[in-house]
């Protein structure tokens, strides 16, 4: 007997739909809509508590934990990835996210879904997490609640709120991001008989890269060794800055300065050891050293924890005060 192929396919599809209609639970895999090719936790939606009709939006700011406790809207074009988990979830490593999407910051900190992504949740209680590099670059990829290996020179940001009640057709969740990396900066002063005209370049020994962030806590474990390759510092006038992964060591950092001084055309080089305060450069802290350049040495008479130093698009430090 000859069977029409189109009729046969239609009959098979109808049979499949009949089988699924009798199932009590349907699983839906939700992708971010803009970077589905990566291996980030994509999330599996449970019937009734996953994909819903409530539009969840986000507004992001960055908090300075030290000194002023101030908050400011995240810079425009900054990318932020937001994860949503069931409120009863205790560990992000043991279950998949209900939803995950990458957003781009607009003016005044409003987050807009990248590629038109929208987070739609049903009524319920959710735990939210957010990560960012504080730039337009994509945030790190997470798998089973742990990030890919991280690198120096990046201002990693993290945020979490637990048991957030989502009720209503449109909800806006405030996101207050904190710094998970650490930062060092130097303010160069003239010593006896020295006038520093400008800094040609500066390098610092940074923490060994490769640490991974825990999504549930935002913690990046500190390195206990230095990287083998010195890091180029951002230079702005007589100020230096570098952002790195947290560090715990009793060994000093090595700072190499190339400067013009006293009107001489030749570059003068200083290679000095910088003590690590209390044996650690802690996550979330920005350490500012006062460095006095003398004819034959460099002194560090003062170091303190200050507000985080914002940087421009070239990595140069900006001091708003």
Structure confidence at residue 35 (pLDDT)? 36
**Which pLDDT band holds residue 310 (cuts at 50, 70, 90)?**
confident
Biggest alpha carbon distance in the chain? 105
Judge whether 55 lies within some domain.
Answer: yes
What is the distance in angstroms between the CA of the first residue and the CA of the last residue of the chain?
Answer: 87
Q: Is the pLDDT of residue 31 over 60?
A: no
Q: Which of the given ranges, 33-37, 190-194, 260-264, has the highest pLDDT on average?
A: 260-264
Task: For residues 162 and 224, state if they share a domain.
Answer: no
**Which pLDDT band holds residue 47 (cuts at 50, 70, 90)?**
very low
Judge whether 50 lies within some domain.
Answer: yes
- Angstrom distance (rounded) from CA 203 to CA 256: 5
Which DSSP state fits 297? -
**Which CATH number is 194's domain given?**
2.60.40.2630
**Residue in 142, 141, 146, 150 with CA at minimum distance from that of residue 243:** 150
**Which pLDDT band holds residue 177 (cuts at 50, 70, 90)?**
very high
Task: For residues 213 and 173, state if they share a domain.
Answer: no
Task: For residues 60 and 175, state if they share a domain.
Answer: yes
Task: For residues 98 and 119, state if they share a domain.
Answer: yes
Domain count, the chain: 2
Q: Is the pLDDT of residue 19 over 80?
A: no
Q: What is the mean pLDDT of residues 189-201?
A: 94
Judge whether 2 lies within some domain.
Answer: no
Which SS3 state, helix, strand or coil, does residue 105 take?
strand
**Which pLDDT band holds residue 318 (cuts at 50, 70, 90)?**
low
- Angstrom distance (rounded) from CA 193 to CA 263: 12
Q: What is the DSSP string of 160-187?
A: EEEEEEE-SSEEEEEEEEEE-SEEEEEE
Structure confidence at residue 125 (pLDDT)? 93
Task: For residues 92 and 36, state if they share a domain.
Answer: yes
Q: What is the mean pLDDT of residues 21-31?
A: 31
Structure confidence at residue 187 (pLDDT)? 93
Judge whether 239 lies within some domain.
Answer: yes
**Which pLDDT band holds residue 170 (cuts at 50, 70, 90)?**
very high
Task: For residues 45 and 140, state if they share a domain.
Answer: yes
Structure confidence at residue 87 (pLDDT)? 83
Q: Is the pLDDT of residue 268 over 60?
A: yes
Judge whether 46 lies within some domain.
Answer: yes
Task: For residues 76 and 202, state if they share a domain.
Answer: no
Q: 5 has which bridge partners? A: none
Q: Is the pLDDT of residue 227 over 90?
A: yes
Judge whether 7 lies within some domain.
Answer: no
Q: Is the pLDDT of residue 62 over 80?
A: yes
Point out the domain boundary residue: 179, 198, 220: 179
Point out the domain boundary residue: 179, 195, 219: 179
Task: For residues 283 and 174, state if they share a domain.
Answer: no
Query: How far is CA 272 from each of CA 110, 237, 253, rounded to the nearest angstrom?
Result: 44, 20, 8
Q: What is the mean pLDDT of residues 119-133?
A: 95
Judge whether 214 lies within some domain.
Answer: yes
Q: Which two tokens stand for residue 125?
A: 């209680």
Point out the domain boundary residue: 159, 179, 199: 179
Q: What is the mean pLDDT of residues 270-281?
A: 95
Domain that residue 163 falls in: 27-179
Q: What is the mean pLDDT of residues 209-217?
A: 97
Q: What is the mean pLDDT of residues 72-78?
A: 88
Task: For residues 144 and 224, state if they share a domain.
Answer: no
Judge whether 71 lies within some domain.
Answer: yes
Task: For residues 72 and 106, state if they share a domain.
Answer: yes
Who contacts 12 (Cβ-Cβ below 8 Å, separation ≥6)? none
HEC string of 116-144 equals HCCEEECCEEEEEEEEECCCCCCCCCEEC
**Which pLDDT band holds residue 315 (cuts at 50, 70, 90)?**
low
Structure confidence at residue 46 (pLDDT)? 30
**Which CATH number is 39's domain given?**
2.60.40.2620
Helix and strand numbers, DSSP H then E, in the chain: 1, 26
Task: For residues 31 and 161, state if they share a domain.
Answer: yes
Q: Which two tokens stand for residue 28?
A: 């839906």
Task: For residues 159 and 84, state if they share a domain.
Answer: yes
A 10 A CB-CB count for 192 gives 8
């Amino acid at each position: 007997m000859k069977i029409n192929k189109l009729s046969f396919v239609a009959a098979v599809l109808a049979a499949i739909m009949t089988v699924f209609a009798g199932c009590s639970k349907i699983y839906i895999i939700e992708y971010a809509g803009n970077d589905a090719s990566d291996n980030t936790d994509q999330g599996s939606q449970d019937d009734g508590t996953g994909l819903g009709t409530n539009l969840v939006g986000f507004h992001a700011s960055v908090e300075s934990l030290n000194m002023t406790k101030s908050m400011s809207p995240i810079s425009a074009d900054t990318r932020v990835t937001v994860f949503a988990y069931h409120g009863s979830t205790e560990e992000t490593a043991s279950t998949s996210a209900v939803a995950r999407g990458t957003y781009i910051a607009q003016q005044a900190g409003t987050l807009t879904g990248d590629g038109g992504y929208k987070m739609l949740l049903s009524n319920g209680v959710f735990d939210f997490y957010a990560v960012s590099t504080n730039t337009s670059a994509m945030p790190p990829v997470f798998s089973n609640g742990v990030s890919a290996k991280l690198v120096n020179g990046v201002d990693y940001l993290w945020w979490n709120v637990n048991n957030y009640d989502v009720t209503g057709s449109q909800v806006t969740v405030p996101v207050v991001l904190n710094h998970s990396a650490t930062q060092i900066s130097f303010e160069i002063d003239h010593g006896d008989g020295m006038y520093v005209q400008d800094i040609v370049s500066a390098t610092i020994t940074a923490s060994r890269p490769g640490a991974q962030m825990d999504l549930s806590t935002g913690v990046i474990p500190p390195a206990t060794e230095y990287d083998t390759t010195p890091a180029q510092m951002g230079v702005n006038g007589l100020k230096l800055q570098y952002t790195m992964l947290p560090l715990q060591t009793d060994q000093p950092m090595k700072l190499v300065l190339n400067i013009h001084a006293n009107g001489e055309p030749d570059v003068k080089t200083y290679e000095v050891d910088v003590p690590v305060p209390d044996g650690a450069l802690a996550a979330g802290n920005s350490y500012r050293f006062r460095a006095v350049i003398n004819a034959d040495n460099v002194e560090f008479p003062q170091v303190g924890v200050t507000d985080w130093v914002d940087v421009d698009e070239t990595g140069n430090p900006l001091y708003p005060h």
